């Protein structure tokens, strides 16, 4: 009965963020700090515009947590699988608002490398997990674009673990970037739906930089060569 109630609940709609014609340019590093960075990172740093501000993120994350509280209110425990590295801020802010027992596991996958677009190839760095048999599991990801990373992960977990339930939550969704091979992937919880542009901040990076930014910024400069 509990599982039937969970399946019948309405899937929450994401907040759609459209680029503003008045987006403000950002200065995220001083000239002295920029001088020691690679040319490509310098280029990104000098062509960033504010996309989703800190207050908007905080409000939406809290609302998303309340949706999770409703969805999982009758379970004994939820296992959250955080996909590193980009999801660490999303995880940290989200779990503060959850009011039921949670365990957190971490795995590492990669598909971007030092590029501004997903390579379409999933690199497994660390998939070490305990047994998830009979567990309610939520995969937490920073961004879904092609969908190939989550497609791989869902198939992997279904092949190796007999979970009681398996759902997906993402911070950012780029629906227009979805690869046809991943059209079957359904994301249950989405914080923001955005255009298909390259973004950094709030855990997302370029070449390892910009993860610490408390907001999301979009890159508006020329094509990068790195």
How many whole angstroms separate alpha carbon 43 and alpha carbon 220?
10
* Active-site residue flag, 159: no
Q: Which residue in the list 93, 145, 173, 205 is annotated as catalytic? A: 145
Helices 88-95/54-71 angle, 10° precision: 60
Report the phi/psi class of residue 64: left, alpha or beta, with left for phi > 0 and alpha for psi in -120 to 50. Answer: alpha
Q: How far apart are CA 156 and CA 37, in angstroms?
A: 37
The burial class, CB within 10 Å (0-12 / 13-18 / 19+), for 85 is middle
User: DSSP H helical segments within the chain, as ranges?
Assistant: 2-8, 31-35, 39-45, 54-71, 88-95, 148-160
C-alpha–C-alpha distance, residues 80 and 77, integer Å = 10
Q: Is the peptide bond before 215 cis (omega within 30 degrees of 0)?
A: no
> b/e for 162-193, b at 16 or more Cβ within 10 A?
ebbbbbbbbbbbbbebbeeebeebebbbbbbb
Residues marked as catalytic: 145
């Amino acid at each position: 009965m509990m599982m039937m109630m969970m399946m019948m609940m309405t899937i929450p709609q994401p907040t759609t963020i459209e680029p503003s014609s008045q987006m403000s340019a950002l200065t995220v590093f001083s000239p002295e700090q920029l001088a020691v960075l690679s040319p490509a990172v310098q280029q990104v740093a000098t062509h960033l515009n504010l996309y989703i501000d800190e207050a908007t993120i905080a409000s939406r994350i809290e609302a998303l947590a309340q949706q999770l509280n409703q969805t999982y209110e009758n379970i004994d425990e939820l296992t959250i699988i955080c996909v590193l590295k980009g999801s660490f801020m999303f995880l940290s802010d989200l779990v503060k608002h959850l009011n039921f027992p949670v365990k957190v596991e971490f795995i590492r996958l990669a598909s971007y490398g030092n590029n501004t677009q997903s390579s379409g190839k999933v690199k497994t760095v660390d998939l070490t997990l305990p047994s998830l048999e009979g567990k309610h599991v939520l995969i937490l990801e920073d961004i879904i674009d092609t969908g190939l990373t989550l497609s791989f992960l869902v198939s992997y977990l279904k092949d190796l673990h007999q979970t009681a339930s398996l759902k997906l939550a993402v911070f950012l969704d780029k629906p227009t970037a979805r690869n046809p091979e991943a059209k079957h992937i359904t994301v249950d919880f989405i914080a923001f739906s955005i255009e298909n542009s390259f973004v950094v901040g709030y855990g997302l990076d370029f070449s390892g930089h910009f993860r610490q930014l408390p907001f999301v910024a979009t890159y508006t400069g020329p094509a990068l060569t790195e």
